Structure 1
Amino acid sequence: MRALVYNGPRQVVVKNMPDAKIERATDVLVRITSTNICGSDLHMYEGRTSMQPGRILGHENLGEVIEIGGAVDRVKVGDRVCLPFNIGCGFCENCEKGLSGFCLTCNPGNAGAAYGFADMGPYAGGQAELLRVPYGDYNCLVLPRGAEEKENDYVMLADIFPTGYHATELAQVQPGDNVVIYGAGPVGLMAAYSSMIRGAALVMVVDTHKDRLALAEKIGAVAIDDTEGGGIERVMELTGGKGADKGCECVGYQCCNMHREEVPNLTMNNLVATVKATGRIGVVGVFVPEDPNADNKLEKRGQMAFDFGQFWFKGQKIGTGQANVKAYNRFLSRLIEKDKVKPSWIVSHELPLEQAPEAYQKFDERRKGWTKVVLKPGK
């Protein structure tokens, strides 16, 4: 099969790899028809993780079931399925609680497994023609008839849409809330979209990329350009000096200041400043336990200079962690099916798998207009 393989920092190549296959009776084999490039893929692409050369990337996947293991009961050959990026077993303590992003069995010694991701188990990614899905009955979201007509919407259920929604769940966004979101990338845009779904009265999106801020404005959010560093003042002005009721961090540890310098604590401390006393903050941007290529000692250990005193004094609350996709993907799928939402509005490019290396390069460079890339294996 053709697959996108990580060879080292900023070195990815599409090449022939051994076909994915059924390995256990609970497996499902999927022919991938859509697979997204995610912002978190760029951490690995840039060499900022422990990703091993030779592995296949890709954790946002959708396709058609072409083979099932002998113990698979619910999923059938021919089903179109979207795969949550987190791989769960379905029977461990965390999976039983709905915390499939922190499965205790799929990545022994760690909580959580994923396709094609550093430190998340040995599983191959889906930026390929075929993908093995462990525990297929649990991990496959079977899509309704006619799903191929909305495939670019449904593939967003693998990660980006549930992750944006998860940010609002962690922040406990409620009808009538004022919400500030740091980051106008795909996750931030989906958090803004989700805030509106949940009935927020005012949604503010803070970033320095004008093309992405323009997308936020198209869905009715207030775009705040922080290029000159006046974002905090603008949020406070729009909220009458009180600060937002809720805030979402959708950037992560590689966030940059107005000079394009990495400042890992920037968005977190800005949220402490712009969320009101007793407000809540949801953090879904990726922060890692260690970053060997960081510039200072704190960052190398995955630590930051956090304004904890101000956070404590304001009585704020914070929720963190990757999205438990299965907690959200089914009801979000129904919204897509009934034309209540259309998350594919963030897609900027639809490309064949063979163009993935070029797409990674341009997406990593934050080229103007490169918001969300959907790869189409087999085309």
Structure 2
Amino acid sequence: MAAPAATMKAVVYDKPFEVAIRQVEKPQILHPDDIIVKVTTTCICGSDLHMYEGRTAAQPGIIFGHENMGIVDRVGSGVTLLKVGDRVVMPFNVACGRCLNCEEGKSAFCTHVNPGFAGGYVAMGPYPGGQAEYVRVPFADFNALILPPGTEHEEDFALLADIFPTGWHGVELSGFRPGESVVVFGAGPVGLMAAYSAVLRGASDVYVVDRVVERLNKAKDIGCIPIDFSKADAVDQILKLRGGKEVDRGVDAVGYQATSGDGKTEQPNAVLEALIRVVRPTGGLGIPGLYVPSDPGAPDSAAAKGYISFPFGKLFEKGLTLGTGQCNVKTYNRYLRDLIISGRAKPSFVVSHNLPLSEAPSAYHKFDKRIDGYTKVLLHP
């Protein structure tokens, strides 16, 4: 009789607005290129809330968690660059490192992992997430980024899995050049990272649009100009501050769950329309905010199928460029790691809570409701 499989604790999706800590099977080496990582820090992402709220096709039983770091516990026979005991952080989008897109630096669009691109997220690959005690990392030599040993910069390095590179990517997608002005819609973790990246890259002015006071205060703390869109139209406020002059670049860090000024009425095209209004002719828009091909909770039948109307004629008339898509984390993460090590960057200013894994169900509820200033939650198994 075979011995029972070893188990571990993990955050499992039960149904909309409900996750639980469950005993699940501990991951095993399934391919020579795999490693098993003992998770030290895993983050709750705003994208996780889309699944948590039932706004995706996520099925009960999925293990959440696509922002993971930890210590290498086991290595497959084909792994050559990593060893047991290495401290590593993984990109949220798993990639093979060998296909055409990976070879061209577009690891977010790995065709080998297709139809998905990540672990622990619906429709993004067959890999269980890392909000657990252990996680399996495929194609490990390519995906795992080695970090200095010890525990220094743990909060900062954890953000290399997703939000720091994604914020940087949003600015990159916009075509930004040093000295230009930028507006970022959304001051959640990714939006704050986009604003922070623009500051690090030499923006002249950075405007950050949101309606949550704690978020706007964080934006102000890093030298940005907060714009509260619950008080008046955001574009009008920015144009008034600038004497009618538009900004050079715009970043959408909100995505398909954008709202009107009351914060309650969903308007999926709200940010896209605002960006087209506020960015100067021949400027650029970066869209790292999540848009999905189907949305079970959409406010109308078109948005439910991923169709969103926006003034394309005005986009064309102004000659605006538009860049979209998931972040190619591998393009940026080693350089952002080195900015952290050198002391030039400290993205962990967005972290609001460090909690044990056992508190994940409560943390999801509070993060979803923005209770007690929950902005970015790090879980520690």
* Mapped contact 1:2–1:17 kept (Cα < 8 A): yes
1:359 counterpart = 2:366: no
Q: Deviations over 1:321-376 (max 9, x none)?
A: 01000000000000001111111110000000000000000111122511100000
Name the CA distance, whole Å, in 1 between partners of 2:292 and 2:232: 26
Look up the SS of the partner of 1:6 in the other structure: strand
Name the CA distance, whole Å, in 2 between partners of 1:349 and 1:91: 37
TM-superposed CA distance for 1:121, in Å, is 1.4
- The correspondence for 2:106, drawn from 99, 114, 126, is 99
Q: Give the structure 2 partner of residue 277 of structure 1.
A: 281
Look up the SS of the partner of 1:310 in the other structure: helix
Q: Give the structure 2 partner of residue 320 of structure 1.
A: 324
Q: Give the structure 2 partner of residue 9 of structure 1.
A: 16
Counterparts of 1:236-315 in structure 2, within 5 Å, are 236-259=239-262, 260-315=264-319
Cα distance 1:368–1:269, how it changes in 2: closer, same or farther (>3 A)?
farther
TM-superposed CA distance for 1:78, in Å, is 0.4
| Unaligned runs of at least 5 residues, structure 1 | none
TM-superposed CA distance for 1:229, in Å, is 3.0
Name the CA distance, whole Å, in 1 between partners of 2:148 and 2:243: 45
Q: Give the structure 2 partner of residue 210 of structure 1.
A: 213
Name the CA distance, whole Å, in 2 between partners of 1:90 and 1:288: 25
1:61 counterpart = 2:68: yes
1:70 counterpart = 2:77: yes
Name the CA distance, whole Å, in 2 between partners of 1:308 and 1:242: 21
- The correspondence for 2:97, drawn from 86, 90, 94, is 90
Look up the SS of the partner of 2:307 in the other structure: coil
- The correspondence for 2:146, drawn from 135, 142, 147, is 142
Name the CA distance, whole Å, in 2 between partners of 1:199 and 1:280: 17
Name the CA distance, whole Å, in 2 between partners of 1:246 and 1:295: 29
Look up the SS of the partner of 1:66 in the other structure: strand
Name the CA distance, whole Å, in 1 between partners of 2:232 and 2:24: 47
1:231 counterpart = 2:234: yes
Q: Deviations over 1:153-206 (max 9, x none)?
A: 000000000000000000122111110010010000000000011100000001
Name the CA distance, whole Å, in 1 between partners of 2:215 and 2:43: 18
- The correspondence for 2:204, drawn from 188, 201, 213, is 201
Q: Give the structure 2 partner of residue 21 of structure 1.
A: 28
* Mapped contact 2:86–2:149 kept (Cα < 8 A): no
Look up the SS of the partner of 1:248 in the other structure: strand
Q: Give the structure 1 partner of residue 185 of structure 2.
A: 182
1:35 counterpart = 2:42: yes
Look up the SS of the partner of 1:256 in the other structure: coil
- Tell me the matched-pair count: 373
Please say which of residues 124-133 and 223-232 is displaced more in the overlay.
Answer: 223-232
| Unaligned runs of at least 5 residues, structure 2 | 1-7
Q: Give the structure 1 partner of residue 3 of structure 2.
A: none
* Mapped contact 2:171–2:194 kept (Cα < 8 A): yes
Name the CA distance, whole Å, in 1 between partners of 2:340 and 2:240: 35
Q: Give the structure 2 partner of residue 191 of structure 1.
A: 194
Name the CA distance, whole Å, in 2 between partners of 1:310 and 1:14: 49
TM-superposed CA distance for 1:228, in Å, is 2.5
Q: Deviations over 1:186-227 (max 9, x none)?
A: 000000000011100000001111110000000000000110
Q: Percent identity at matched positions?
A: 50
The TM-score normalised by the length of structure 1 is 0.97
TM-superposed CA distance for 1:236, in Å, is 1.1
Look up the SS of the partner of 2:48 in the other structure: helix
Q: Deviations over 1:243-272 (max 9, x none)?
A: 110000000101111221111000110000
Name the CA distance, whole Å, in 1 between partners of 2:75 and 2:57: 32
Name the CA distance, whole Å, in 2 between partners of 1:368 and 1:6: 23
Look up the SS of the partner of 2:271 in the other structure: helix
Q: Aligned partner of 1:301: which letter? A: K
Name the CA distance, whole Å, in 1 between partners of 2:32 and 2:243: 59
Name the CA distance, whole Å, in 2 between partners of 1:236 and 1:96: 42
Look up the SS of the partner of 1:21 in the other structure: coil
Q: Aligned partner of 2:340: which letter? A: I
